[in-house]
Chains A and B, each alone.
Chain A
Amino acid sequence: MMFRKIIIIYFFLFSSLQSNEASVELIEIYKNLRCLICQGQSIADSNSDFASTIKLVVQDQVKEGKTQKEIYDFLVSKYGEWIVYQPALSKSNFLLWFLPYLVLVLGGLIIFFITRKSKHNKD
């Protein structure tokens, strides 16, 4: 009798842990997807009709054992790069990727020249 109880408790504990892992992965995917008909909301944040449909599709694909990349690739092929918050590097968006580094280098140069100039002035 005791053994049966332990088995039942173990089963419920294990299944709830497993479902938590799955829901964490689902939420991670939803957060990386943009709700196309909402203003600045992710699929995770939105309760719109579109978001609920995409959630169902993602749930199905996770159940089928597809990886996150496969799910994103599928949705990009259907809706374009705009649906993912982190688009792949391409000709049209290279500035988005490299602008922060460019600004960092230029900012560094400006600071360097200003400090050098003020040093010269002091001397």
Chain B
Amino acid sequence: MKINFFKIITFIFVIFFLSIFWLGLNKDNNYSTKSLTGSRISNFQIPSIHNDNLISEGYLKQNEFTLINFFASWCAPCRVEHKYLIKLARKNKNIKIIGINFKDKKSNALNFLNKLGDPYDFVAKDPDGKSSVIFGVYGIPESILINKDLIIIKKIIGPIDQKQFDEILKLTQ
């Protein structure tokens, strides 16, 4: 029996393109920076919201674990996750929580913390959002858990919920 070369090539092409479409359709198209877990954060200096003090790598190296949380008073999901940050600050002494106030007015941010409680060991300000780029932030709320070598252990995109709260506790104990 003579094999038709043209038919074989066409068949291979069809199978190949169908496999690519199948893989493409099954791939999660939502962008996430979770893949950057394991990378190290460096070269930053962010001023405090209260005074001229700066937070930098040196401060974070003193802590066993640090959770860097990006928040703003205008961000509704930040209000939802805030109770978990308060609980975390009370429950776990291994972890320091740094708040970075993102594109917000100082008075609004301070009102937010007065009203909902202040779980942060240091509150920094990032009025134009440029400092948040150093941490790969592209929307808020976002939280980054790092160890004292400044390696990212976990990235939480969106508000912290009960499941993520439990996971943070587990990772930091």
Residue positions of A touching B, CB distance < 8 A: 36-37, 49-50, 53-54, 56-57, 60, 75, 77-80, 82, 106, 109-110, 113-114, 117
Contact = CB atoms under 8 A, between A and B. Distances in A.
A contact face: mostly helix, strand, loop, or mixed: helix
Contacts, number: 46
Contacts of B35: 80
Given A49-B103, A78-B133, 6 more contacts: A36-B31, A75-B133, A106-B13, A110-B6, A110-B9, A113-B6
Given A36-B31, A36-B138, A106-B13, A54 B133 contact: yes
A50 B138 contact: yes
B133 A53 contact: yes
Contact of B132 (A53, A75, A114): A53
Contacts of B31: 36-37, 82
B117 interface: no
B134 interface: yes
B139 interface: yes
Nearest to A78: B136
Given A36-B31, A113-B5, A117-B6, A79 B129 contact: no
Contact of B135 (A54, A75, A78): A78
B9 A106 contact: yes
Contacts of A117: 6
